[in-house]
A = this chain, B = another copy of it.
Amino acid sequence: MVTPCTSGRHDHHDIYAAQCPCREVLDLLANKWSALAIGAMEEGPQRFGALQRRLEGVSPKVLTSTLRRLEDKGFVSRTIYPAVPLHVEYALTDLGRSVARPLAQLRLWVENHIDEIAQA
């Protein structure tokens, strides 16, 4: 049996249910590069190059796909300024600004507790 994602008239979603659309969204947000990219954009709209420099070690390929998926779900907007040289800005939407809070808490938790974490 597959647990349904919603139950009752209050449309309560269960992220533990395999079929829940929440799963797909969690998979997108609970991701190293998504968490870092959204954090970077909290400081204001960012250009592709700026994000690439900020998220040290990200390849352009992975950054592009991360931003595209965030855009598809409505967390990020992509604006092209056809100036020369080409100028593309990525910014958080209202939804993106909303999810930035819990993601920031997770990033801060890691920074604040790293010393307590036993390393191999």
Contacts and interface: CB of A to CB of B under 8 A. Distances in A.
A110 to B, nearest CB: 5
This chain: copies in complex: 2
Nearest to A111: B13
A contacts with B: majority SS: helix
Contacts of A3: 56
B15 A56 contact: no
A58 to B, nearest CB: 9
Contacts of A39: 16
A16 B15 CA distance: 28
A87 interface: no
A3 B55 CA distance: 11
A119 interface: yes
